[in-house]
Amino acid sequence: MTGYAVDAAWMTVAEAAERVGLHHRAIRRAIARGELRAVKVCSRIRIAPGDFAQWLDANRLAPSDAEPPVRPLAAPAPNGLRRLLDASRDGA
């Protein structure tokens, strides 16, 4: 037994891509890399809903990975811009 439910609503590559807002090529690449399990039936690729859900869970970002860290702003140089502006006014 393979572990696949025969009566499951299998997805096409296009349907899987539409569900996550990706191009169908991105789904095909994930299959080719072995990240997303799929079966080929009569030269058609089908994805089991459980395999699709596992793939999404495996690629879920941790809360700390979701947003890039915020860089603290550097303190401005004392009189840096003001000194340049004053120097340009004096020289003009």
Residue 67 is classified by DSSP as S
Q: For residue 1, what pLDDT is reported?
A: 46
Q: For residue 39, what pLDDT is reported?
A: 94
Residue boundaries of the structural domains of the chain: 7-62
DSSP H helical ranges for 1-92 = 13-20, 24-32, 49-58, 63-66, 80-91
What's the fold here for domain 7-62? Multidrug-efflux Transporter Regulator; Chain: A; Domain 2 (1.10.1660)
Q: For residue 77, what pLDDT is reported?
A: 66
Residue 92 pLDDT greater than 60, yes or no: no
Q: For residue 43, what pLDDT is reported?
A: 94
Distance of alpha carbon 3 from alpha carbon 33, whole angstroms: 22
Question: For 3-50, how does the pLDDT look when each residue is reduced to its tens digit (9 = 90+)?
Answer: 666 667 899 999 999 999 999 999 999 999 999 999 999 999 999 999
Q: For residue 71, what pLDDT is reported?
A: 75
Question: For 59-90, how does the pLDDT look when each residue is reduced to its tens digit (9 = 90+)?
Answer: 987 776 566 667 777 776 667 777 777 777 77
Distance of alpha carbon 3 from alpha carbon 48, whole angstroms: 11
